[in-house]
């Protein structure tokens, strides 16, 4: 597993996430690790889902049975990530020492932007198909799943996209539409299949639906409770998430 620039930035900007992984290794429990790292249980799982997606494989594994009824532990990839992060910290310290002024550091901070998109999926460009002034970029995610992003030709050139280039696909939770696998898929839309891991209802808005995928990635969708009831979807059900290529934003490591 390579420590991608995007994943490294996530850890560097949010040291609580490193603390969370360290505490999972020590505590063997998400609940106890979250408390020790100063995070809520939900925030801990949000962090784990995002880091798993950027890494392209699970960093945390659930354990079943044993004293207390089970818990969690770092996967081999998670353990390696922590070791790599320690090396990154050393390199980062050397980089900061080489900065000539405070303005240099402020510039770096402006370049490393955060995003509000809940779904950040790491992948690589497979092909780029011209479509007038736009390009249709085909991306392979972890587990060989493929999606398409429609972006302008200027964006393709600005991001220096070519086959084999690593990218992060950003998809807002509200852009995902869900349907049962028994329903016909729309061939014009991207399709990602999985199962409903959890439904988190809200008192004054759409429910948050977490979708697990066989690759270990996790999607987050926002769906109105009435629509969930109409679709008959509940925890554990297989589900298909659909979204248009134009609703996929792309980013590349700096």
Please identify, among 82, 111, 140, the residue that sits at the C-terminal boundary of a domain: 111
> What's phi and psi for 204, nearest 5 deg?
-130, 30
Q: Alpha-carbon distance 31 to 41, whole Å?
A: 6
| 237 in the same domain as 177 | yes
CATH of the domain at 49: 1.10.10.10
Q: Sign of the CA dihedral 76, 77, 79, 83?
A: positive
Please identify, among 111, 134, 164, the residue that sits at the C-terminal boundary of a domain: 111
CATH of the domain at 170: 2.40.50.100
Q: Alpha-carbon distance 112 to 7, whole Å?
A: 12
| 128 in the same domain as 101 | no
| 136 in the same domain as 54 | no
| 236 in the same domain as 197 | yes
How would you write the pLDDT of the chain (254 residues) with one tens digit per residue?
445 555 655 665 667 788 898 899 888 888 999 998 888 988 898 888 888 887 778 888 877 654 444 588 899 888 888 777 767 666 555 655 555 555 555 555 544 445 667 788 888 999 999 999 999 999 999 888 999 999 999 899 988 899 999 888 889 999 999 999 999 999 999 999 999 999 998 888 899 999 999 988 889 999 998 998 899 988 899 999 999 999 999 888 65
| 100 in the same domain as 121 | no
Whether the Cβ atoms of residue 140 and residue 146 lie closer than 8 Å to each other: yes
Q: Sign of the CA dihedral 235, 239, 244, 248?
A: positive
| 123 in the same domain as 245 | yes
Per-position DSSP letters for 165-218, written without gaps between them: -EEEEEE-GGG-EEE-TTSPP-TTSEEEEEEEEEEE--SSSPEEEEEE-TTS-E
Bridge-based pairing of strands 70-74 and 60-64 is antiparallel
| 161 in the same domain as 105 | no
| 94 in the same domain as 175 | no
| 181 in the same domain as 128 | yes
pTM for this model (two decimals): 0.62
Number of domains in the chain: 2
> What residues pair up with 120 in beta bridges, in sequence order?
170
The predicted structure's pLDDT at residue 17: 82
| 91 in the same domain as 129 | no
| 156 in the same domain as 98 | no
Burial string for 223-233 (b: 16+ CB within 10 Å, else e) reads: beeeebeebeb
Q: Alpha-carbon distance 162 to 66, whole Å?
A: 49
Inter-CA distances, 208 with 156, 160, 172, 222, Å: 32, 35, 12, 5
- Cβ neighbours of residue 176 closer than 8 Å, sequence gap 6 or more: 119, 219, 220, 221, 222, 241, 242, 243
- Domain region containing 254: 116-254
Half-sphere exposure of 101 (CA within 13 A, CB side): 3
Please identify, among 94, 111, 128, the residue that sits at the C-terminal boundary of a domain: 111
The predicted structure's pLDDT at residue 37: 87
Q: Sign of the CA dihedral 3, 4, 6, 9?
A: positive
> What's phi and psi for 153, nearest 5 deg?
-60, -35
| 127 in the same domain as 90 | no
- DSSP character at residue 26: H
> What residues pair up with 125 in beta bridges, in sequence order?
139
Q: Alpha-carbon distance 218 to 8, whole Å?
A: 19
């Amino acid at each position: 597993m390579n420590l991608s620039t995007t994943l490294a930035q996530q850890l560097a900007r949010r040291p609580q996430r490193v603390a969370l992984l360290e505490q999972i290794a020590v505590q063997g429990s998400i609940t106890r690790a979250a408390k020790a790292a100063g995070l809520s249980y939900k925030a801990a799982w949000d962090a784990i889902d995002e880091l798993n997606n950027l890494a392209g494989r699970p960093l945390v594994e659930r354990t079943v049975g044993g004293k207390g009824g089970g818990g969690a532990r770092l996967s081999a990839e998670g353990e390696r990530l922590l070791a790599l992060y320690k090396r990154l910290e050393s390199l980062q310290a050397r980089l900061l020492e080489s900065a000539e002024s405070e303005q240099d550091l402020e510039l770096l901070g402006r370049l490393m932007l955060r995003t509000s998109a809940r779904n950040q999926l790491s992948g690589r460009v497979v092909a780029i198909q011209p479509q007038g002034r736009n390009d249709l970029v085909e991306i392979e995610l972890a587990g060989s799943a493929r999606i398409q992003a429609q972006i302008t030709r200027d964006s393709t050139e600005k991001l220096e996209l070519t086959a084999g280039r690593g990218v992060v696909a950003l998809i807002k939770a509200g852009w995902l539409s869900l349907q049962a696998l028994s329903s016909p898929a729309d061939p014009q839309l991207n399709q990602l299949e999985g199962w409903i891991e959890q439904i988190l209802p809200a008192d004054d808005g759409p429910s948050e639906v977490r979708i697990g995928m066989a690759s270990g990635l996790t999607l987050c969708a926002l769906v109105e409770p009435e629509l969930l009831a109409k679709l008959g979807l509940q925890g554990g059900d297989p589900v298909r998430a659909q979204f248009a290529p134009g609703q996929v934003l792309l980013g590349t490591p700096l």
